[in-house]
Amino acid sequence: MRTLDTRTIVVASHNAGKIAEIRDLIGPFGFSAKSAAELSFVEPDETGTTFEENAAIKALASAKASGLPSLSDDSGIVVDALDGAPGVYTANWAETAEGTRDFQMAMQKVEDALAEKGATDPAQRTARFVSVLCLAWPDGHTETFRGEVEGTVVWPPRGTQGFGYDPIFKPEGHERTFGEMSAEEKHGWKPGDAEALSHRARAFKLFVETCLTA
């Protein structure tokens, strides 16, 4: 285990939604951070078959390119009735022929796949969001932190907050989807809070407890 002795890092992402959420989480800790997108780093090929592998690929690429510790996120939705799909291919399901990402299309793909399985009852539509954060140093050392939140896939999509698949994911114990929650409700977390709601906030809580306060 290695603690972070600087507050200057790179957010190893080109995803605007992820960058915004990570900045919301790290802001209270006094970090100075630029994203891989802002620094015009080339996006590495995510060739891993697990969230952990892909998170490490992204964090190490930014750490080596910048010479600074870099924090990445690899995340996705895992749907039980679809044998864990889309999983690590969550972003791929949104890719269009034009090379852009259309998450309305991706959410429809999930719904169509569930319909093919006859999964119409909420008990058949269980899912979880998974987030793995990886903190990498330029020397190749990495620390990883995994957060998960259980829930249900709903249809039609509800809410315009968040990004990605948020409008079809209703976390366990809540009546609103992530798409209907404010940023503070979804991923707001600070030291002293017993729990965090979102998968990314839960992973971040582990990051803080391991690398910032150890």
Residues acting as catalytic residues:
74
Dig out the tokens for 164 from the structure. Answer: 């990605």
Evaluate whether 180 touches 159 at the Cβ level (below 8 Å): yes
Question: Rounded to whole angstroms, what are the CA distances from 77 to 86, 129, 143, 153, 158?
Answer: 6, 5, 22, 10, 16
3-state secondary structure of 8: strand
Cβ 133 vs Cβ 198: under 8 Å: no
Do the Cβ atoms of 110 and 165 come closer than 8 Å?
yes
